[in-house]
Structure 1
Amino acid sequence: MFGDLSHLVLQQYWWIIVSLLGALLVFLMFVQGGQTLIYTLGKTSMERTMLVNTLGRKWEFTFTTLVTFGGAFFASFPLFYSTSFGGAYWVWMLILFAFVIQAISYEFRTRPNNVFGTRTYETFLLINGLLGTILLGTAVATFFTGSAFSVNDMNQSQWELKSHGLEAALNLHNLSLGLAVFFLARVLGLLYFMNSIKHDELFGRAKKHLIYNGLPFLFFFLTFVIWLFIRDGYAVDPETQNVYLEPFKYFKNMVQMPLVLVLFVVGVAGVLFGLGAGIVRKECTKGIWAAGAGTVLTVFSLFLVAGFNNTAFYPSSFDLQSSLTIQNASSSHFTLTAMSYASLLVPFVFGYIWYVWRALNSKPIDEDEMQSDDLHIY
């Protein structure tokens, strides 16, 4: 089946899979957003314990999706992996550090004889929430703004700045997406708390903070999107494969791929509907689903805009012709074919995640459950 497909079709197929995994990762970062709100919402030790435990039941989904996203990128587009992870390593090392301390925190926060105290591990969770969201957002933004690297004829890449990726956080366009992801993760975290915790005081505080975080999210997201649509983009000549700057390239991609445009509009509408319902409706607990689905569709469509329609998905601001496309950065036809057969298992994995999610959230967390001796408490 897959062996009969052309190399280009397989490359496009794997860009779609990578894009979907990236979109799911951004949604699942509601865990990171929630971690930055533990002390904002939790005024007592019991309230903070409920917040940490409802997130603790989901943090492994985010971590696993991050690893899967990185692994799929490595296997399908190895030149991107070697260029970005090998060149912009300070950014990726900071992200890795943030996720390592997250795993430690959930494991040791309530361990007996914890010499550091729960506050230390809650601070680690805050650091993970800050670094994980902002740095991942700025890293993804470089798919549109470019990075300072070069690639020689032997496909050996070299980073041209000694800051090795940290410069991405100093680019205002990159930072606008990083901050948009940060506040979106907080909005999703608040909606998740409203859905998964049965506690009137926490529910009321979460509803109030939806406004405080929803407004800056909209500001930074609109800043990123408007800036993206009016800037020059990195286009690829389909005949010669030469890369050149084209005015309004990403806006043109949206218009020239109407299905992607529809996904983007529906996704943004879903996020706004979930946010608005959480704020306006008095007892709304389902906003996470509309906002979550909207997040997946929006991010998915942005990834497609970055890689399809003769566009360099990882452009070089140092040397245009070193820019990476889904054609020059991918694995061989044989490798993509073998991986494609393995990808048929993905729906079963999603089904398992859905089953576990429903099982863990069959009943909202309350104070009585946190005081039970039969439950593992994070």
Structure 2
Amino acid sequence: MFGSLSLLSLQQYWWFLVSLIGALFVFITFVQGGQTLLHIVAKDEHQRNMLVASLGRKWELSFTALVLFGGALFAAFPLFYAVSFGGAYYVWMAILFCFIIQAVSYEYRVKPNNFLGKRTYETFLYINGSVGIILIGIALGSLFTGGNFVRDTMNFSAWTLPSYGLEAALHPFNVAFGLTLFFLARVQAELYFINNINDEDILINTKHQLVKDALLFLGFFVAVIVMLLVMSGFEYTTNGDVSIVTFKFLKNFLATPVLIVTFLSGTLLVVYAIVNTLFKQSRQGVFLSGLGTILVVTSLLCLLGFNATPIYPSLSHLASSLSIENSSSSHYTLTAMSYVSLGVPFVLGYIYFVWRAMDKTKITSAEIEADSHHY
């Protein structure tokens, strides 16, 4: 089946899968969003323990999804992985550090004789949920705005600025993208708490905070989309020449109507989930919002990779820009990986059933008091 596909078709198939995995990761960052709410939604230590216990059931999913995203990029587009993760070194190391302290915090927060104290590890969790997610948003934003690298004919690359990727934090679009992800993570965390925790005080506090974070998210989201539609992008030709094109991403949307449909559908699902939770007392908003997030993020990432659009433009040397065609693995490798990818639905099914099993009983105050091994 996959062996009969052309190399370009396999490259497009794998960019779609990478985009989908990236979208799944963005959804699961509700864990990080929830970590920034521990001292906002919770009013005492007991309520904080309930929030951490709720997030503790899912925190490994976000770490796993990030590793899976990086692994898929490495396997399918190794040159992209090498240039981005090797060149924008400081950004990715900062992100990795933020996720390391997350893992340490869940492990040691309530350990006996914890000399750092709970508050220190809760600060680590906040750093992971704020700095870590904003930096990831900035890194994803740079796929649209470009990076400062050069690449020679032997595919050896070098970063041209000593800041090694940190300069991306100075671009307004990248910053807005990062803040959009940050407030989206908080909104989805609030929807998750409403679904997962059975406590009236937490429910009331969470809904109050949801109003604020939803407005901030929608504001930054609209700003990102407006900037995206009016900004210039990059386009490559069959002989490898790269040029700047005005309204590139608007043209990509218009050239691919299915992306317009999925993007608008996803946006409406997220908005409906928020409205339904606030005004109709629904407690299932996290699932609608999650589906909407996956549709929106997949649509945005698919604006890259298709319609002759580089997946990582070079601001230092246009010809060095990376596309799905010049940065992918071989036809044989992509074919073999494609057969392996047929097992993804089974993995998703497993996650679904495990999620249901873990959430069959909502977290209550009595459960936390009875459990001496909570996070």
TM-score scaled by length of structure 2: 0.99
- 2:242 match: 243
Deviations 1:84-133 (A, max 9, x none): 11110100000000000000111111112211111111111001001221
Query: The residue matched to 2:303 in structure 1 has which SS?
Result: helix
Deviant stretches of 4+, over 2 Å = none
Structure 2 residue 354 is matched with structure 1 residue 356: yes
Structure 2 residue 139 is matched with structure 1 residue 123: no
AA in 2 matched with 1:251: L
Q: CA deviation at 1:207?
A: 0.6
Query: The residue matched to 1:284 in structure 2 has which SS?
Result: coil
The 1-side partners of 2:79 and 2:325 are apart by 11
Deviations 1:322-342 (A, max 9, x none): 111000010111111111111
The 2-side partners of 1:91 and 1:276 are apart by 35
Question: Structure 2 matches for 1:189-268, cutoff 5 A?
Answer: 189-237=189-237, 239-268=238-267
- 2:368 match: 370
The 2-side partners of 1:89 and 1:248 are apart by 30
AA in 1 matched with 2:168: A
Question: Structure 2 matches for 1:177-196, cutoff 5 A?
Answer: 177-196=177-196
Question: Structure 2 matches for 1:262-277, cutoff 5 A?
Answer: 262-277=261-276
- 2:318 match: 320
- 1:56 match: 56
The 2-side partners of 1:240 and 1:280 are apart by 55
AA in 2 matched with 1:357: W
Question: Structure 2 matches for 1:1-378, cutoff 5 A?
Answer: 1-237=1-237, 239-281=238-280, 283-373=281-371, 376-378=373-375
Q: CA deviation at 1:309?
A: 1.0
RMSD: 0.9
The 2-side partners of 1:210 and 1:319 are apart by 44
Query: The residue matched to 1:114 in structure 2 has which SS?
Result: coil
Deviations 1:61-99 (A, max 9, x none): 111111010000001001111101111010000000000
The 2-side partners of 1:132 and 1:311 are apart by 28
AA in 2 matched with 1:276: V
Q: CA deviation at 1:240?
A: 2.2
The 2-side partners of 1:280 and 1:313 are apart by 40
Deviations 1:214-246 (A, max 9, x none): 111111111111011001111122x32311111
Query: The residue matched to 1:291 in structure 2 has which SS?
Result: helix
Identity %: 51
AA in 2 matched with 1:377: H
Deviations 1:185-233 (A, max 9, x none): 0000000000000011110111111111111111111111101100111
AA in 1 matched with 2:348: F
Contact 1:210 1:278 in 2 (8 A): no
The 1-side partners of 2:271 and 2:118 are apart by 35
Deviations 1:260-317 (A, max 9, x none): 1100000111111111112222x32111111111000000000100111110111111
Deviations 1:145-181 (A, max 9, x none): 1111111000011101100011111111100000000
The 2-side partners of 1:114 and 1:9 are apart by 54
Query: The residue matched to 1:158 in structure 2 has which SS?
Result: strand
Contact 1:233 1:247 in 2 (8 A): yes
The 2-side partners of 1:324 and 1:115 are apart by 48
Q: CA deviation at 1:376?
A: 3.1
AA in 1 matched with 2:284: K
The 1-side partners of 2:203 and 2:84 are apart by 41
AA in 2 matched with 1:295: T
Q: How many residues align?
A: 375
The 2-side partners of 1:230 and 1:354 are apart by 39
Contact 1:39 1:48 in 2 (8 A): yes
AA in 1 matched with 2:317: D
AA in 2 matched with 1:272: V
Query: The residue matched to 2:352 in structure 1 has which SS?
Result: helix
Deviations 1:329-362 (A, max 9, x none): 1011111111111111111111111111101110
